[in-house]
Amino acid sequence: MTHKRFISSTREIPAVSAVPRHVAIIMDGNGRWARKRLMPRVAGHSRGLDSVRAVVRACMERGIEYLTLFAFSSENWRRPADEVSFLMQLFMKSLRKEVARLDENGIRLRVVGDLARFDPELVRAIRESEEKTAKNERLHLSIAANYGGRWDIANAVAALMRAHPERCDGFSEDEIASALSMNFAPEPDLFIRTGGEKRISNFLLWQLAYTELYFTDTLWPDFGADALDQAIASYGGRERRFGRTSEQLVEQGATGHHA
């Protein structure tokens, strides 16, 4: 179900480097940023788009291959109806405005999540944007929209059961991983959450098994290249053992950050 196999950190020890290959970000704090400035919450979401552009550009400059941004969770429908409506309109406007720029810069866009609840016009815009950028390889930008980690796992298992109804004995980790919505990307090396909260919030539950977690009080509209560099520097100082001991890393000549 996937066209490229990536190493599972629970089954094999992946190669690591000082610069993460895949960064996943929960972009938190837009509403609080706006309230601090006596502005409506939606103004923070608009301002947050500038941070998206800055971080995408910074990832390309630093050689990061995959960037996954959590834009709208399956639980965000619980927010006030006018805010949800604004976010949907902002999503549509951003797709129309940014897709040409993404394509010019060699960025492949994917939207992962359950799109069934979105307006058909928005789904069409998403699919057209994905198709337009499908051949790009410089940076793989994934936007998680109406996404939930539990939904992702349940959806993968349901897809496997439909494809293999005879398999009552279950499925392997590799089979489930191949059916997940992010099967085209390696597991994230670095997870960043802005805004001061220290939760994963149902984001990439399967994929974050051995990801390095980084939390910052910086609100998303204030997060840019310098803040990303701080997160990468923190990541660069981590010892990635994947179940091994520090002594084993020394014996094997591994530093935890160089393949």
Consult the annotation and say whether 200 binds a ligand.
yes
Please check if 220 is assigned to a binding site. no
Confirm whether 76 is a catalytic residue: yes
Residues 6+ apart with CB under 8 A from 34: 40, 41, 42, 43, 44, 47
* 31 known ligand binder: yes
Q: Is 167 annotated as a binding residue?
A: no
Q: Are 54 and 218 in contact (CB under 8 A)?
A: no
- Is residue 201 a known part of a binding site? yes
Q: Is 130 annotated as a binding residue?
A: no
Q: Which residues pair with 212 in a beta bridge?
A: 190
User: Is 246 among the annotated ligand-binding positions?
Assistant: no
For residue 37, how many C-alpha atoms fall within 13 Å in the half-sphere facing its CB?
15
Closest by CA to 158, choosing from 182, 143, 175, is: 175
Amino acid residing at 123: V
Determine if residue 30 is labeled as part of a ligand binding site: yes
Closest CA to 137 of 99, 90, 102: 102
- Known binder of ligand: residue 173? no
The reply to whether 105 belongs to the active site is no
The annotation status of 193 as a binding-site residue, yes or no, is: yes
Handedness of CA 2, 191, 22, 90 (dihedral sign): positive
The torsion angles phi and psi of 241, rounded to 5 degrees, stand at -95, -25
Catalytic residue among 50, 76, 103, 222: 76
Q: Which residues are catalytic?
A: 28, 76
Binding residue numbers for substrate = 29-33, 41, 45, 73-75, 77, 79, 193, 199-201
Annotated binding site for Mg(2+): 28, 212
